[in-house]
Chains A and B, each alone.
Chain A
Amino acid sequence: MESMTILNNVEDKHIEELESVTIRFAGDSGDGMQLTGTQFTKTSAIVGNDISTLPDFPAEIRAPAGSLPGVSGFQLNFSNHDIRTPGDEPNVLVAMNPAALKVNLADLEPGGILLVNTDAFSDNNLKKAGYGSNPLEDGSLTGYRLFKLPITTLNRAALRDEVELPPKEIDRCKNFWALGLMYWLYDRPLEPTMNWVNEKFKKKPDVVKANVTALKAGFAYAEAAEIFTTHYRVRKAAIAPGKYRNITGNEATALGFVAASVLAGRPLFYASYPITPASDILHELSMRKNFGVKTFQAEDEIAAVCAAIGASFTGNLGLTGTSGPGLALKSEALGLAVMTELPVVVVNVQRGGPSTGLPTKTEQADLLQAMFGRNGECPVAIVAPATPGDCFHMAIEAFRIATRYMLPVIYLSDGYLGNGAEPWRVPAMDELPRFEANLYKDPDNFQAYARDPQTLARPWAVPGTPGLEHRIGGLEKQDITGNVSYDPENHMHMVETRAAKVARIADDIPELEPFGEREGRLLVVGWGSTHGSITSAVEEMQGRGRSVSSVHLRHLNPFPRNLGELLGRFDRVLVPELNMGQLWLLMRAKYLVPAISFPKVKGKPFKISELTAKMEEVYED
């Protein structure tokens, strides 16, 4: 290959060291931007950077090519130090067409690197993106370091004599050409991606060759062409020693539930109806049948939760997964699980709402639905993972609580956690919690609603066990016997008992450890996927010498025991949430603190700069 020869003859160009870089790849949904981003992420993780990612894809599977709704993006932040967010503003934007430029340009930092595929800037595409004139020529991009490359043409030229593939297939490789170029620019090895291509397309040698050739050609072009004078290096981060892998929240969630099944010694039964952004959990678990995991794609959300309840009744770990609209549909059945006191876990990978809302965007607006969205007095336990890797641990925690207390648990993840990836230190087997989830067997004096004195749990007595035949259901139960009861005193007692079961979990979960001092001027309280941005922002504030601490709730119902006491140790309490103030409302109701809400509902996570600005404002107030 011609370009390879050139590569060998060129002297090494200037290398500049950087602390961290945020890149956004953007193009049409058909341009393979998600794949490009994931490959760049994996490679960066393998070379030892800390990373964090944010995929951003359209709700439409194939919106019209070249249109604004059809733009798909993938942002990643890689660094030589500990990072927790995908970065506020990209330093680099790769725009594969005019629509991608239009949608993403506003986020690019001033003076940032802007790389565009000029071949896609046809009159037609410009019109579809709503450009009156060509931004590449009208001077509107002078505030950026613009690199104009005919990527489609260059890719075709590189592949033309190398592979026998139809032109359409050749053009599909242009994202790998761009990836190769970016690999050169940020001094990354090609091998991890080449290995992936070899594995992925092992049955299609032509496709392997095409992609590898495109990747190398992009790399070689950057090395040889005159346009780049510098490339960059981001050194390894000082990450805690151990074995790492890249993991998305949804993958970690699925693995966590498999682990829960292994640790509890009870089979996992996952019933679910396809819904964005939770379906990946169904895909993952359906591959785990060799763990005895049974997956059931139900006819609807209600059937899914009901089947999970049925499976819990027979002694399985009954699990269902969904997103907000599905949780709404499962409400009545969740009440049944509360009433029958069965250990069911419901995963809600939250998305933007209400109704169909923004299915592919993130939000944390189902906390109150999880808390109160059922008829009658109907409390459930609620847990929420804080990071993609934490999804693994909280999945185990969800079933530990469900089986120990015999009640349903809602697990609140969100689109950002579910699709976002981070390097995850793989836990050793002996670091995982053990928990007992024993079935009740003793027929002597068996009572279906007899209670464990500590947890108030009723026995998990399952069909097939001689002597324990009994009937459960949604009608109010007499305590201890489990018979149907309409007695007023008993109803009040049972409502209180079901609430007490949830409340007692507080004795069984760790107290909050503040990040920062245990008292001071400002305490920031968060939950769920905002962990990364809040912690980074608080760290920045502490660096400015401000007395700011944070706590992050992974248990939302009940709250950790010491939350109220911690709130009292600070002058100000700030609650940033990707909703209109739902945790804030609960905290104010429970602890009567004048906490300040910082809501955001734009389908996007917090930027660190937004948070620090708000913290400064509250701090001075």
Chain B
Amino acid sequence: MSTNTDANQGGNGGQPPVKLTRKDFVSDQEVRWCPGCGDYAILAQVQKVMPELGIRRENVVFVSGIGCSSRFPYYMNTYGFHSIHGRAPAVATGIKASNPELSVWVITGDGDALSIGGNHLIHAIRRNLDINIILFNNRIYGLTKGQYSPTSEMGKRTKSTPFGVIDYPLNPLSVALAAEATFVARSVDTHTQHLQMIVQRAMEHKGVSFVEVYQNCNIFNDGAFDMFTARDVKEDRMIELEHGRPLIFGKERNRGIRMRSDMHLEVVELGNGVSESDLIAHNEKAPDSYLAYMLARMEYPEYPVPVGVFRDVQKSTYEDLLTEQVERAIQNMGPGDLEGIINSGDTWVIE
């Protein structure tokens, strides 16, 4: 059975459940990712955050494409649609535009979203539908057993690139920002608290939310992010973005990011004449996305890798504008009159 009708849930006359817990969002399906896969951690955080958000299970839809991450909807005890490769943003667009009341989530991967589905991703983002897109980036094709992906590093040896990758990788956040995403964030599968916070922020944002999660594929690309996400190095090699706060990082909190006069970001040591006020203060609400874009381009080892919310701005959503057009049309033309339109135009009567 793929449904769960326990006492707290549906079939209670449409009344909100007393209080949902993580368990209410766990479906009865056996989870089939490889043991140790980063997907488990992401699933657990999403299931934890869901009850906090106060949305009712029946109003939630998880949509996915194809790939390891796209199994996700089967494990959520909500509505779910496991669609076809790359097309989840398009299916989600139809769902959200036709029923704006629903909380719609797209679960996708680096291959699904950036390769076969790249077109749908940028257009769903530019339309600013109020949907939440979570891209599990493991920099590899897992389900097809280990070919390089559009986020794999140059030179990487994989099943399909025995002599090394020769195409330059895409940066998912750069793509999202170029498509004018109104909410852009990044987190890491193993940083559970941070990931929960980011998922919650994405949900709360009205408009499209794009979240990249660094996800470890322990079978085909194990440790891809360890170099900077591992517990013992992360404070020195990552930087957590916080709105309004200067960009400081390091175990000793003694390093920061400064803008040079040639518009280049540089890592500086605090002290010796460099103070916090010389550093960039993060502004996720900036109406333009230049700063977010520059931050998104910071890569290890030249820079600490940023996580957090890069951008969070407001503009009208596609579904609201569409609903408005419908309502205005009804106001201006009156509710649709079928007999009227069938009989419109030049008509004549044959006796």
Q: Which A residues are CB-close (under 8 A) to B4? A: 469
Q: Which B residues are CB-close (under 8 A) to A289? A: 325-326, 328-330
Knowing A306-B90, A470-B79 touch, does A448 contact B326 (C-beta < 8 A)? no
Q: Which of A288, A448, A464, A474 makes the CB contact (< 8 A) with B84? A: A474
Least CB separation from B57: chain A residue: A469
Within A472-488, which residues are at the interface with B (CB < 8 Å)?
472-475, 481-484
Q: Measured between alpha carbons, how far is A279 from B252 in the docked complex, in Å?
A: 63
Knowing A243-B349, A244-B349, A313-B95 touch, does A469 contact B77 (C-beta < 8 A)? yes
Q: Which B residues are CB-close (under 8 A) to A88? A: none
Q: Which of A45, A308, A472, A481 makes the CB contact (< 8 A) with B81? A: A472
Q: Which A residues are CB-close (under 8 A) to B275? A: none
* A318 contacts B by Cβ under 8 Å: yes
Q: Which of A192, A296, A466, A475 makes the CB contact (< 8 A) with B14? A: A466
Encode contact with B along A536-573: 1 for CB under 8 Å, 0 otherwise: 00000000000000000000000000000000000000
Encode contact with A along B217-240: 1 for CB under 8 Å, 0 otherwise: 000000000000000000000000
A243 touching B1, Cβ below 8 Å: no
Q: How far is the CB of B10 from chain A (nearest CB, A)?
A: 2
Q: Which A residues are CB-close (under 8 A) to B9? A: 466-467, 469
Q: How far is the CB of B271 from chain A (nearest CB, A)?
A: 51
Q: Measured between alpha carbons, how far is A267 from B322 in the docked complex, in Å?
A: 14
B1 touching A464, Cβ below 8 Å: no
Q: Which A residues are CB-close (under 8 A) to B35? A: none
Q: How far is the CB of B171 from chain A (nearest CB, A)?
A: 21
* A13 contacts B by Cβ under 8 Å: no
| Chain A residues bordering chain B, tally (CB within 8 A) | 78
Q: Which A residues are CB-close (under 8 A) to B347? A: 243-245, 426
Knowing A468-B58, A469-B77 touch, does A243 contact B343 (C-beta < 8 A)? yes
* B195 contacts A by Cβ under 8 Å: no
Q: Which of B1, B3, B61, B343 makes the CB contact (< 8 A) with A463? A: B61
A471 touching B1, Cβ below 8 Å: no
Least CB separation from A449: chain B residue: B2
A302 touching B348, Cβ below 8 Å: no
Q: Which of A309, A466, A483 makes the CB contact (< 8 A) with B58? A: A466
* A429 contacts B by Cβ under 8 Å: yes
B57 touching A290, Cβ below 8 Å: no
A242 touching B346, Cβ below 8 Å: no
A310 touching B102, Cβ below 8 Å: no
Q: Name which of A296, A427, A475 has the most chain B CB atoms within 10 A of its CB.
A: A296
Q: Which B residues are CB-close (under 8 A) to A46? A: 346, 348
Encode contact with A along B312-351: 1 for CB under 8 Å, 0 otherwise: 0000000000100110111011111011011111111111
Encode contact with A along B284-300: 1 for CB under 8 Å, 0 otherwise: 00000000000000000
Q: Measured between alpha carbons, how far is A462 from B61 in the docked complex, in Å?
A: 10
Q: Which A residues are CB-close (under 8 A) to B63? A: 310
B350 touching A466, Cβ below 8 Å: no
Q: Which A residues are CB-close (under 8 A) to B47? A: none
- Among the 9-residue stretches A155-163, A202-210, A349-357, A439-447, the one with 4 or more Cβ atoms under 8 Å from chain B is A439-447
- Among the 9-residue stretches A166-174, A255-263, A574-582, the one with 4 or more Cβ atoms under 8 Å from chain B is A255-263
Q: Which B residues are CB-close (under 8 A) to A102? A: none
Q: Which B residues are CB-close (under 8 A) to A467? A: 3, 5, 9-12, 58
Within A270-318, which residues are at the interface with B (CB < 8 Å)?
271, 288-294, 296, 298-300, 302-304, 306-316, 318
A471 touching B80, Cβ below 8 Å: yes
* B139 contacts A by Cβ under 8 Å: no
Least CB separation from B98: chain A residue: A311
Q: Which of B79, B339, B343 makes the CB contact (< 8 A) with A469? A: B79
Q: How far is the CB of B55 from chain A (nearest CB, A)?
A: 11
* B73 contacts A by Cβ under 8 Å: yes
* A336 contacts B by Cβ under 8 Å: yes
Q: Which A residues are CB-close (under 8 A) to B64? A: 473
* A388 contacts B by Cβ under 8 Å: no
Q: Measured between alpha carbons, how far is A316 from B66 in the docked complex, in Å?
A: 25
B10 touching A466, Cβ below 8 Å: yes
Q: Measured between alpha carbons, how far is A57 from B40 in the docked complex, in Å?
A: 59
A471 touching B27, Cβ below 8 Å: yes
* B215 contacts A by Cβ under 8 Å: no
A303 touching B2, Cβ below 8 Å: no
* B99 contacts A by Cβ under 8 Å: yes
* A121 contacts B by Cβ under 8 Å: no
Q: Name which of A239, A240, A294, A447 has the most chain B CB atoms within 10 A of its CB.
A: A294
Interface contacts beyond A298-B123, A306-B87, A471-B73: sample of 18 additional A-B pairs, CB < 8 Å, sorted by A: A244-B348, A245-B344, A271-B94, A290-B326, A290-B329, A292-B330, A302-B90, A303-B120, A307-B93, A310-B91, A313-B95, A315-B99, A340-B81, A427-B342, A467-B12, A469-B58, A473-B74, A474-B82
Interface residues in chain A, defined as those with a beta carbon under 8 Å from any beta carbon in chain B: 42, 45-46, 48, 192, 239-247, 255, 258-259, 262, 267, 269, 271, 288-294, 296, 298-300, 302-304, 306-316, 318, 332-333, 335-336, 340, 426-427, 429, 443-444, 446-448, 462-475, 481-484
Interface residues in chain B, defined as those with a beta carbon under 8 Å from any beta carbon in chain A: 1-5, 9-12, 14, 27, 29, 56-61, 63-64, 66, 73-74, 76-84, 87, 90-99, 101-102, 119-120, 123, 322, 325-326, 328-330, 332-336, 338-339, 341-351
